Each structure stands twice: as C-alpha cells, then as structure tokens.
Structure 1
C-alpha cells in the first residue's frame, strides 16, 4: 500500500435504524398540588408545587426523598453549594439545607414579582429579582446578595420616570443581566435591555414593538452557538413576534411575525440552529407549534396542536424529538419530531396537563401535571441535558440555575500515555477544564513526573496548544497543564515517548470504535489519530464485520 494513501478500515457491527422506540412513562409521583417548575441536580429532581411544597425526587425511580411545605409557588429553585433557594412567589426566598431539607434562613424581598426563573450569578453572588416597588407598581430589577440578603442595586433607580411591566425571567451572560420589559417607562413600548450586573447601569437597549404587549411568561433565551438572544412578545390572540438580537450591541438581526390566534405565552426552545415556538390560542382551542431557522427567522414548519392542546407548554428537546405535556384540554405527554413537526408518540396521564417547563437529564424528561410529576424515558435520540428550565430544553438561560462554585480543575487529554513523539516535529497538547481556570502553563517531564521543564507559559485556556518537540529523547515523558500559580493542574496518566527516530507509520480509529448507533441520513464525524509519515487517507465502510468494504471518502 502506498504510504501516502492509507485506507481506514471502519467496522460498524450494528447499524440500527429506528423511527420511534423507547418512549415510556417510567414513573408518576402523585401529590395533591400542581407540579410546577423544577431542576435536576445530581440525579435528583427538585420541584416546586403550586400549593407551596418543594420536593426532592429520585430521577431514576420517582421515589419521593424529601419534601417541605409552605416555601414555594411556581418558580424554579436554584442551588448554591449545599443550599437550595426557593421563592414563595411574592416576597421571600427560603434558604433550605439540601441534606436536612430544613429552612436555615429567610431572605425578605419586598414587592417581588413572580418569574419562572430567578437567575443566580456565582461571580457576584447576586440573584436578580423583578419587583414592583411603588404604589403605582413601577416595575424594576434588583440585585440581591445571597450571602446576607442585601439589595445591592435597583434598576431603574428611584426617582426615574416610569418603570416597566412583565414577568419574563432575566438572563445572566458574562458581565451583564438581560431583561425583556413591556410598557417601558410608560412611553417606549417593549424593550430588551442589557444591564451591568455589577452596578445596575444600562449598557444598551433594543427597541421592539412600540405598542406594549402582555407581561406574560414568554422568557427570552440565549443561543451560545451564535451569541444571540431570541426574544418574543405577544398581544393576546392578535399577533406575536420573535426577534434575534445580537448580544454585543443589541442589534436586531431578524424578526418573525405570527398572526391571529398565535400568542407566545411560554419559553422558546433552541437546538442545533432551530428555534421552537409555542403558539397559544386564548380561545382554548387548538394552538400551534412552529420551528424557525435561527439564521434568518424563516419558518421551517408549523403544526396545529395535538389532542386539543392550546399551545401554552414549552418543550424539551433532544437531537431528534420534542417533549411536552398537552396544556389546556389535553391530558397527554407527547413526543414530536423536531425536524418535521410530526407526532410520533403520545401517552395519557389521567390528569389535566400543566404548563410546567420540562427538564431532562440522563435520558429522562421530567414533566408536570395537575397532580403528577412524571418521568418519561426519552427515545433513541442523543440526550441534550438541561438540568434546569432555561438550558437547551426550554431555551438556553445561563444563570437560571448555578450549582454554586464549581471546583476548578484541569484534565490532560493528549498525550496521555503510549504516544510516540519525534524530536523537532509539531504536536498538539489537549486538555479540558472546569470551573474558573485562567491561562495555563504547559510543562514536560522526561523522568516520569519527578522534574519538569516549561514548554509554554501563560497561554490561553482554550483546550489545545501546539508545541515543538524538544531534543530530550526519553521513554518516560509526561505532560503537565497547570495554572501559573500551580493550582489546578493535571499530568498525563501514563508515560509517552520522545524519540529521535520517527515511528513507523500507523493509524488508529478513535470513533466509531464499536457500540455506536448511526442513523441513515444523519451527519457523523469519523475521528482517528496517526503517527509517523501518513499522507491523505481513504475512509471505508463495512456492514458485515469487516469482510467487504465500500468507500465513503477518498484522498
């Protein structure tokens, strides 16, 4: 075989094509209240119930682990460290110990407005609460320090003319908090605003429709893929709009208008360049659901609600399906094809469906109804975890829930043992990080980790860095990636080799490597590594365990 043309032999032992399979309600927890907003954390679903209860439920079994009364309403709780914070809907946040499920503190916030999320920001230690602070119900946003319950700033400040209405949840991204407001200052109609999270000053505002819309629960969402927000507004059954707004400067990139009987009353969803829009019908007749191209706002599909659902419920999403309960007259959990909008599965729940926004983790979608919390086993699609309302499943809202301060950490990916590097060649060091990790140093040991020599100093923590292999041949080499002060750090798990002689040419298939399931028509990425002198490659496919081969990609 020519050294410049190597054929990669890929054995796919199981190529399984399934259209609908695996959907199943695996548990139902009955409670004498309406199941409302929730989160998932460490295999436990925490939900507020409209009668005032907060529950902790095992995600896999549905077993009720803990509950506490009179601390909740319908706002998703958030967790910081070993405490969970539950808003009672009007003036108080309860701090509750996760282990004992006992109240440890009360944070009083006068005139707080209900929202489906209260964002928490770990950098400042603030949560951001919508309030109505005067007798004429001037709306505002306040930053509340969780550690002591102090209000750090309020926007707009006291004495400013007017305020703003609405119950849409704020979003924290980077150095700012973003908020949709209607009837802004009683003169500007609807605005989407960027506010400095540290001091409460306005950075920019995007003018939406000048006619004030409903102050409903159509929360804006953030798309980290394109660094834009999707913001919606509606006027009962008259019409509604969806906007794409650039985060850096507030420029409106596109607008999509929906007409009669299509009001947006719940959170949008986003996944893989598609924005999913619930369209409510106030006449309690069939609502609609729509999919928009996130690049230009064009309509991909629109379907009438199934089983007389009125289009209020938000959806969870995986790479194939949408999941929701049929709000209104329906009593079902349904699964919808996210590409075509077709109904693919449904099951009755024997209770009036609620507008609870679904959350999902570990292949289980958690939904709510009149008296049940429901665990639905997702289908064959690749899971898109959304441990809280506001991430992927019902839009991406970073800061809606923050699991306290993540312990900073670094993990070296490559080289991690067994590789052969040649003196003078260019190689790439790869790593991952979690928590707050700044720039990093990359060091080399040629004696198994006893002594270290710096290769790169203070490079950007972006997960990869090319290095020139030094003239230090050894079979006991390791790489270390660390912050300049030494913590956190990680080293290769095993030794690799630096050689003066190039290794023989070779190729190793990384993915697929056995056990994967690919579906006809989808796009997949083949991954491999090489050593020695390897030129362009062919990629071949076998469907009989390696006996016969068909070329997929040449040269």
Structure 2
C-alpha cells in the first residue's frame, strides 16, 4: 500500500502480509520511501493523489503546491525505491489551485482530476495511454446538481461504470454514481451516498480491493485508513434492478382497451422507459412511453396492432442496460 504525505513530500510504502487486509500492515521502512521533492527538483512538495499504470512501471503524483502531475518510471514494478522522474504537466490553467486526486481509465487514455475547491471533475484525453505529456483537457463535468460539497478523492470500478467520490466540508460523504458508458462522465447518474463523519472528519482518498468487496478511506483527522465492507461489489447499495410484474403472460388484450403495466424497482433513476415488441425485441420495437415516473404502474391504451404474442420491456431512462421483459 502506498500513501502520499500531503503537507510533507514523502511517498510511503507499507507491506500487507495478507492482500488488502489492513490488520497485517507493516511499514516497509525508510529505505523504501521516496522523497518526491528533494529526490527530483521537478517533484512537488505537497503531493495529494497517486496512481499507477496497469503493470506498475509508471507512477503518477498529483501535486498541490505547483499544481502539476509528475510521472515517474519504476525500474521494478510497484517498487517506489526504483522510481526516477520522467515528465510533468502543469495543470494550473486547466484545473487551477487545489487539485486533490487523479485516476485513469483502464487503457490510460483518460485522466480524471478532482479539485477540492469545486464539485467539478476535470477530464483529460491522452493520445498515448498513461503518457501525461500527451494529455489535454477535453471536458469539465460539474456535479453540483447532485452533491452540495467540494470533491476530494475518487475511484472507479474496473470497467468505469461506477464512480465513487469523496465530498468534504459539512458534507463528508462517499458519493456513488453510475455511468451507463464506462469512464464517460456525461452518462453519470447519482445513486447514493454514505456518511463517513463518525469515522473520519477530514477524508481525502478512497480505494477498493481487487474485487470491490472492500472500500478504504484515507483521512488526516486520525492519520489513518478506515476499512469498510461493501454490500455489493463496488457499490454502497443494492445494484439497480427492474422486475416487470404485469403483464406476465396469458393475458388477452384488445386494441383500444386499457391495461395496467406494473413493475418493481431497486435503486434506479427517477424515470423508466416502456416499450413493447411483437418478436421479443429481435427487430420489432415500439415505444409506449419514452419516460414516466418510476412509481410502479402505468396505464397503457392498447394500440390496434394485432399480434399473437407481445412482450413488454421496462428500462431505466438513465441506463438502458437495467431492464426487464415480461
């Protein structure tokens, strides 16, 4: 496990005899730590975020003093004592002062940076994966409509369809978002939050174990890492589901009459889309309503569209992959 020093310029390494089990943690020793500023004049004396490429041979440190991202090459994967400075980019003009954390997409072609003075996440595109010199700002996504607090740490699940962000100030929470397209923040919808005030009043970083069953929160109040068991992989809550309860087969419906479509749902957005098909949605799809409130029922006026078999599909407006068919 690696921890940056915040107000100090040290990157510290800890060894866990059992993977991801903090109770087995021991400090690797001063010989294994890395001075991010003195060791390289181009480093930053106030490191905040840390990330690695997939094989651990490149390390990225987000700095709060010079507002920059520094890239280091590791001669031995994940061995910070073998680090040497590669390159840096100044993000003062794009992110501004107060950068706090950075993460990459799975292929390294997107870099995400939070700033602890705003609810925005800054998205950079890298023309060469995990090469920060090729990074350019492509969008700035504002989440103030969902969270009334400034952002600090963030983390994604492996395919980028879930994102957790820490908010600070009076709203010390872990906020979960679902992305219908992986690592595309424009497709994000708010799912839930978890208040961590009773555990940490100055949270900074957040991470998962390798299967998403455990979440870790790093904070400065107790200078500690808090470990949480999650109810579902990479999620604070039950996964989103929809179940169509009617029609459920065997009904005879006549054109011009009405029937009530009913369903149950868990943790989806506020609205659902309802469609019907005469061939099981193989090639025939017809819209009943593009959006209706997720209240569990919808009165449908049957169209004059004769068929011996009709199925109904209900999907989450925010994420069409969350659906069920009668």
* Shorter-chain TM-score above 0.5: no
The answer to which structure has the higher helix fraction is 2
Q: Which TM bucket (shorter chain)?
A: 0.3 to 0.5
The answer to which structure has the higher strand fraction is 2
Higher Cα radius of gyration? 1
Higher relative contact order (CA 8 A, sep 6+): 1
TM-score by length of 1: 0.28
TM-score by length of 2: 0.43
